[in-house]
Structure formats: C-alpha cells, structure tokens
C-alpha cells in the first residue's frame, strides 16, 4: 500500500516559493522555541501536538507542505492530514536541517 502523501525536497520548496506560480501553504510543526530560532518566512507555526485541534484551519484545496527539524514530525503530520482527506500534502524531507534558504527569526 502506498502512502497518501508525497515527499518534497527543501530545494524544490525553495524553487516553488521563488517562482510564485502556486500557492503553497507551509506549516511548521516544530515547537515554538524551535520556530523562533529560525524558520521559513512564509511558514505558519502549528506545533504537532495541537495539529488535531487546528487542522480544520487548513483548507483541503491548498497544497500543504509540512516542515519540522528533520522530517519525522512532518511525516506524522502528513499521515494524519492524508487520513482525514487532505489530498495535496507534502513532507519536506530532511526538514530544516536541509533547508539552505533564508531564515526568519522571531524576536
């Protein structure tokens, strides 16, 4: 049985963001302190433990990329969302450890 979500490299995410041809929704599922230390500017923080409570805030017709530190928590988020009918769900492989683009920081 194949998984109901897809992998996407950090490089591909960066490329898609730069071309602005599609409306990607980036959801960072790390903890607030990890997010504050450095995140992709377009990403919204939605820590994995509260994802079940707030998943309804993510439109099902959007292309959603889940992000974490290394790809494990974001894979869990993908699995959860896909099981609830989200069809355009991607896991950023390698997470922020493999992100080479610019970082935003919360003060």
Could you say which of 26, 68, 78, 92 is catalytic? 68
Angle at 11 between CA 65 and CA 17, to 5 degrees: 60
- Verify whether residue 68 is a known catalytic residue: yes
Q: State both tokens at 16.
A: 């898609």
How far from the centroid of its chain's Cα atoms is residue 5's Cα? 12
Active site residue ranges: 68
């Amino acid at each position: 049985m194949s998984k109901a979500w897809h992998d996407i490299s950090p490089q591909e995410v960066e490329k898609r963001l730069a071309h602005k041809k599609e409306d990607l929704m980036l959801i960072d599922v790390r903890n607030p302190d990890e997010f504050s230390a450095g995140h992709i500017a377009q990403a919204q923080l939605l820590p994995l433990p509260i994802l079940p409570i707030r998943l309804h805030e993510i439109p099902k017709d959007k292309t959603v990329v889940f992000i974490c530190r290394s790809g494990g928590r974001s894979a869990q988020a993908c699995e959860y969302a896909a099981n609830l009918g989200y069809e355009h769900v991607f896991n950023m492989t390698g997470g922020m450890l493999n992100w080479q683009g610019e970082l935003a920081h919360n003060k």
